[in-house]
Amino acid sequence: MSRGWGSTPYPRLTTHDSAFPRRFSHRNGYIHASTAGYCAGVPTTRSPLAPSLWRDPRHRRGLAGERAAIRFLEARGWQVEAHRFRFGHHDLDLIIRRGSLVAFVEVKSRASLSFGAPVTAVGWRKRQVLAKVAVVWMLRSGRLGDQYRFDLVAVTWTGAGFPQIDHIEDAWRLVDK
pLDDT digits (tens, 9 = 90+) for 144-155: 999 999 999 999
- pTM exceeds 0.85, yes or no: no
- Look at the chain and report how many structural domains it folds into: 2
Q: Are residues 96 and 22 in the same domain?
A: no
The residue ranges of the chain whose pLDDT is under 50 are 1-8, 10-44
- Could you list the residue range(s) of the whole structural domain that residue 22 is in? 1-53
Q: Are residues 40 and 124 in the same domain?
A: no
Is there a domain that residue 177 lies in?
no
Q: Are residues 49 and 60 in the same domain?
A: no
Distance CA 86, CA 75 (A): 25
Q: Are residues 11 and 23 in the same domain?
A: yes
Q: Please, which residues have CB within 8 angstroms of residue 72's CB and are 6 or more apart in sequence? A: 153, 165, 167
